[in-house]
Amino acid sequence: MGSNVLLEVKSLKKYFPIQKGFWRKKVGEVKAVDDISFYIREGETLGLVGESGSGKTTTGRAILRAIEPTEGEILFNINGTLINILQLNKKELKQTRKHMQMIFQDPYSSLNPRMTVKDIIGEPLLVNGVARGKELEDRVAELMKAVGLRPEYMIRYPHAFSGGQRQRIGIARALALNPRLIVCDEPVSALDVSIQAQTLNLLQDLQEKFHLTYLFISHDLGVVEHISDRVAVMYTGKIVEIAETEELFKNPKHPYTEALLAAVPKPDPKYRETRKLLFGEVADPSNPPSGCYFHPRCPYAKDICKQEYPSLINIGENGNEHFVSCHFADKLSLAGIE
Amino acid sequence: MGDNVLLEVKNLRTYFFLDEGVVKAVDGVNFKIEKGKTFGVVGESGCGKSITAQSILRILPPRGEIVEGEIIFYRDDGSVDLVKLDPKGQEIRDIRGKEVAMVFQEPMTALAPVYTIGDQIIEAILLHQNVTKEQARKIAIDLLGRVGIPKPEERVDAYPFELSGGMRQRAMIAMAISSNPSLLIADEPTTALDVTIQAQILDLIKNLQKEMGMATMLITHNMGVIAEMADDVAVMYLGKIVESGPVNEIFYNPKHPYTVALLKSIPKVGKKVKGRLESIEGMVPDPYNLPTGCRFHPRCPSYVEGTCDKAEPPEIEITTGHKVSCFLYGGR
Ligand SMILES: Nc1ncnc2c1ncn2[C@@H]1O[C@H](COP(=O)(O)OP(=O)(O)OP(=O)(O)O)[C@@H](O)[C@H]1O
Ligand SMILES: Nc1ncnc2c1ncn2[C@@H]1O[C@H](COP(=O)(O)OP(=O)(O)OP(=O)(O)O)[C@@H](O)[C@H]1O
Ligand code: SF4
Ligand SMILES: [Mg+2]
Ligand SMILES: [Mg+2]
């Protein structure tokens, strides 16, 4: 790990209790995030992909401590000092949180319908005592311009904006306190294709302009490939593969990544009928299979896969990192894209 | 052509009459669906895909009305204009669910939560086929097996909430195909599903279609799904079909500036664009206040002032079956 690492996550776990009956007795656990480790470099975009319920949102929220992780370390680099987010008290957390923000999937429900755009974008500034009055208004206008909204619309309510515009309001709010890291949770999934491209371009422009670091969560592999420098693939609460974007797409090393890449319908009729289908269903994080969680669906599984969980190891060559959690990571020859 | 056409929609206009104004949800749409073929309809949210489908089945929401047009359904023994039927009458009810079946994006809204999936499929079978209850149950189990539900003899007694999203969608498809329909209308059948499950369902629809010779009208906003499935494609924008034709024409020889822009703006797996994506500028206009002339003109990079904003471009056939409504290709 180099010195320009902004965030390092070590052995992060988040288990949700499953409760039953009147006494809410704990009868089990959903291992939503189950011992994952990764880092993000300053200024880079790490893509996080995986199917529904694989633990992407939980990971994002745990990093910001929007939910309390069960275990692990979250190290955040503030001007050369590593701070473990999980050991901060309330006051310290509030200070540190300024540096980390989140953008949500649903631009409809994540904005308070009774607040004007000015109040929504200005709230973090007011709450943290950064600006008020005329200064606040100027800063909100500046933020609105940065995301391509007209400052004249400051006194309007969210319902008067389109989906893409509401997402821009959410982005402006996230930018208000000059954060270093933004967790983008499916920021374009609810948007129309033509608006998606605009929003992705905006996120890229802002990253350059404000030197932002993104954890970019999405289940759309096309979007993730476009925006990410590196990509992590999750399956049932575990990270099964992390590599540079191009490497991961061209040269996947985990059978699940291969299957995921094959399953995406490509917007080009020449790929018809070339797909390999993955059978079976996504594993249940409250009752994961034995051994490698992917083994019941894996076309390459052998006996050992049913017995032992394969640890995440680096099989990259020439000093490149390519982490994979598969017993046969360095033996299988898997198909990527093109 | 005539012989192979199963459904022909002519100049269909479906409007909503609301207090705020009139929404021209479908505004002069023409297309033909051929027997056994997959007709893909693609377009952004609100462009009128679902309302087109609901017009065919005559299940429009309140205040929605077909104000003009014909929907001719061809059978071996003649044809019928669905627009002329009483939406609550026996004739359309016989067609619906039997000759034309539908699957929706969210099967939970179509499956009743308090009945087992078996009960619901059996009821659908009894409605359209002359069999006993026991025979219907056998057929239901067989159908569940055919759509890939493991242990169908057990799952037939499961309630919808006991199944995963993918399994529910399979159950819904089983119900839809129970009467051997000649047309299946699938409105975003995989949008709510994970990619690996989506691939399974698309594959299932494809196989059933081959087996049963059924035509499919596949509605989606996903160009990838269209490329994977469709024989013919219609691209909709604000209540109109702006371009239509064989799938290869649409993907390899797109003509309408909207289709061209749409195809360029999708980040494609394996084709990483360095830097910015080409995007369509501007926003989807307000449905109460549609632009004059060509509805795409305010966002169109090739817009010709004085022409595109003045009149609606006529539909022009460029090559056989490939039609486009844009002044760049004539009609000025
Ligand atoms: N507050 C909670 N209480 C109990 N279980 C939860 C809670 N939040 C999430 N889970 C469970 O944790 C698992 C991971 O959920 P998470 O929302 O992180 O998935 P995700 O990868 O973001 O999925 P999606 O793509 O659907 O957004 C799921 O099984 C989910 O049901
Ligand atoms: N029940 C309704 N009342 C009033 N207007 C409606 C109603 N249903 C649809 N509309 C309007 O009709 C137009 C077409 O809607 P439709 O549902 O067909 O869009 P769609 O292409 O299926 O979009 P999506 O991809 O979001 O499903 C939209 O402008 C919509 O607002
Ligand atoms: S460890 Fe085994 S089951 Fe898991 S992905 Fe690798 S080969 Fe497949
Ligand atoms: Mg999520
Ligand atoms: Mg729809």
- DSSP per-residue string spanning B304-327: -TTTTTTSPPPEEEEETTEEEE-G
- Establish whether residue B215 lines the binding site of ligand 2, counting it when its CB lies within 6 angstroms of any ligand atom: no
Could you give the C-alpha distances from B308 to A75, A180, B297, B302, in angstroms and in order? 57, 46, 6, 9
For A219-223, what is the mean pLDDT? 89
Of B165, B180, B195, the position where a domain reaches its end is B180
Least confident of A99-108, A115-124, B6-15: A99-108
Q: Does A177 touch chain B (CB under 8 A)?
A: no
Grade residue A1 by pLDDT with cuts at 50, 70 and 90: very low
Q: Which atom of ligand 1 is nearest to the CA of A14?
A: 12
- Distance (Å) from CA A338 to ligand 3 centroid: 23
Is the pLDDT score of B73 beyond 80? Answer: yes
pLDDT at position A24 is 79
- The 10 Å Cβ neighbour count of residue B159 is 15
Is the pLDDT score of B2 beyond 70? Answer: no
Give percent of chain A above pLDDT 90.
66
Is the pLDDT score of B283 beyond 90? Answer: no
For A192-212, what is the mean pLDDT? 90
Give, to the nearest 10 degrees, the angle between helix A163-175 and helix A133-146: 130
Nearest-CA neighbor of A285 among A234, A332, A214? Answer: A234
The answer to whether the CB of B31 falls within 8 A of the CB of B11 is no
pLDDT digit string (tens) for B104-163?
Answer: 877 667 788 899 999 999 999 998 889 999 999 999 999 998 888 888 999 999 998 888
Is the pLDDT score of B284 beyond 80? Answer: no
Determine, yes or no, domain membership for A303: yes
| Secondary structure of residue A224 in the 3-state scheme | helix
Determine, yes or no, domain membership for A215: yes
For chain B, how many structural domains are there in total?
2
Buried b (16+ CB within 10 A) or exposed e, A119-146: bbbbbbbeeeebbeeeebeebbbebbeb
Determine, yes or no, domain membership for A173: no
Q: What are phi and psi of A77, to 5 degrees?
A: -90, 110
Range of the domain at B294: 259-325
Strand A322-324 relative to strand A313-314: parallel, antiparallel, unpaired?
antiparallel
For residues A269 and B252, give the distance between their C-alpha atoms in angstroms, rounded to a whole number: 9
Determine, yes or no, domain membership for A335: no
Going by the DSSP 8-state scheme, the letter that residue B96 receives in this structure is B
For residues B39 and B25, give the distance between their C-alpha atoms in angstroms, rounded to a whole number: 20
Ligand located closest to B45 CA: 2
For residues A210 and A178, give the distance between their C-alpha atoms in angstroms, rounded to a whole number: 8
For A136-162, what is the mean pLDDT? 89
Whether residues A266 and B227 touch (CB distance < 8 A) is answered with yes
pLDDT at position B108 is 66
Is the pLDDT score of B269 beyond 80? Answer: no
pTM to 2 decimal places: 0.89
Question: In whole numbers, what is the pLDDT of chain B averaged over residues?
Answer: 91
Best mutation target, B163, B167, B196, B295, to test chain A (most A CBs within 10 A): B196
For residues B140 and A294, give the distance between their C-alpha atoms in angstroms, rounded to a whole number: 31
Q: Does A223 touch chain B (CB under 8 A)?
A: yes
The minimal CB distance from A267 to the residues B223, B275, B281 is found for: B223
For chain A, how many structural domains are there in total?
1
pLDDT at position B281 is 80
Q: Which helix (H) or strand (E) holds B7?
A: strand B5-18
pLDDT at position B330 is 85
ipTM over 0.90: no
- Distance (Å) from CA B165 to ligand 5 centroid: 19
Going by the DSSP 8-state scheme, the letter that residue A23 receives in this structure is T
Determine, yes or no, domain membership for A110: no
For residues A210 and A207, give the distance between their C-alpha atoms in angstroms, rounded to a whole number: 5
Q: Map tokens 């515009």 to a residue.
A: A165
For residues A232 and A241, give the distance between their C-alpha atoms in angstroms, rounded to a whole number: 6
Is the pLDDT score of A2 beyond 60? Answer: no
Determine, yes or no, domain membership for A159: no
Give percent of chain B above pLDDT 70.
98
| Secondary structure of residue B136 in the 3-state scheme | helix
Whether residues A193 and B198 touch (CB distance < 8 A) is answered with no
pLDDT digit string (tens) for B186-227?
Answer: 999 888 788 888 888 899 999 999 999 999 999 998 999 999
Determine, yes or no, domain membership for B45: no
Burial of A157 (0-12, 13-18, 19+ CB in 10 A): middle
CB pairs < 8 Å spanning A and B: 140
pLDDT at position A213 is 97
The answer to whether the CB of B85 falls within 8 A of the CB of B99 is no
Nearest-CA neighbor of A240 among A193, A297, A201? Answer: A297
pLDDT digit string (tens) for B28-72?
Answer: 999 999 999 999 999 988 899 999 999 999 999 999 999 999 999
Determine, yes or no, domain membership for A120: no
Q: Which of B17, B20, B23, B52 to mutate to test ligand 2, by most ligand atoms within 8 A of the CB atom? A: B23
Largest CA distance in chain A: 68
Determine, yes or no, domain membership for B288: yes
Of B180, B213, B232, the position where a domain reaches its end is B180
Q: Which atom of ligand 1 is nearest to the CA of A58?
A: 18
Range of the domain at A246: 5-99+179-324
Q: In angstroms, what separates the C-alpha of A192 from chain B's closest C-alpha?
A: 6
Q: Does A335 touch chain B (CB under 8 A)?
A: no
Q: What are phi and psi of B15, to 5 degrees?
A: -115, 155
Q: How many alpha carbons fall within 13 Å on the CB side of residue A198?
A: 23
Nearest-CA neighbor of A227 among B187, B88, B275? Answer: B275
Say how many Å lie between the first and final Cα of chain B, rounded: 29
Q: Which amino acid is at B157?
A: D
- Establish whether residue B48 lines the binding site of ligand 2, counting it when its CB lies within 6 angstroms of any ligand atom: yes
Of B137, B155, B180, the position where a domain reaches its end is B180
Is the pLDDT score of B268 beyond 90? Answer: no
Question: In whole numbers, what is the pLDDT of chain A averaged over residues?
Answer: 91
Q: Tell me, rounded to whole angstroms, the distance of Cα B214 from its chain centroid.
A: 14
Helix, strand, coil: what percent of chain B each, to 5? 35, 25, 40
For residue A65, what is the domain's CATH number? 3.40.50.300
Determine, yes or no, domain membership for B173: yes
Q: Which amino acid is at B64?
A: G
Q: Does B265 touch chain A (CB under 8 A)?
A: yes
Q: What are phi and psi of B36, to 5 degrees?
A: 75, 0
For residues A115 and B8, give the distance between their C-alpha atoms in angstroms, rounded to a whole number: 49
pLDDT digit string (tens) for A105-118?
Answer: 777 778 899 999 99
Is the pLDDT score of B298 beyond 50? Answer: yes
Determine, yes or no, domain membership for A261: yes
Is the pLDDT score of B246 beyond 80? Answer: yes
- Distance (Å) from CA A56 to ligand 4 centroid: 6
B-chain CB neighbours of A279 within 8 Å are: 200
Is the pLDDT score of B1 beyond 60? Answer: no
A-chain CB neighbours of B226 within 8 Å are: 267
Tokens in use for A87?
Answer: 């050991």
Whether residues A225 and B226 touch (CB distance < 8 A) is answered with no
For A153-162, what is the mean pLDDT? 87
pLDDT at position A274 is 67
B-chain CB neighbours of A197 within 8 Å are: 265-267, 277-280
pLDDT digit string (tens) for A67-78?
Answer: 999 999 999 998
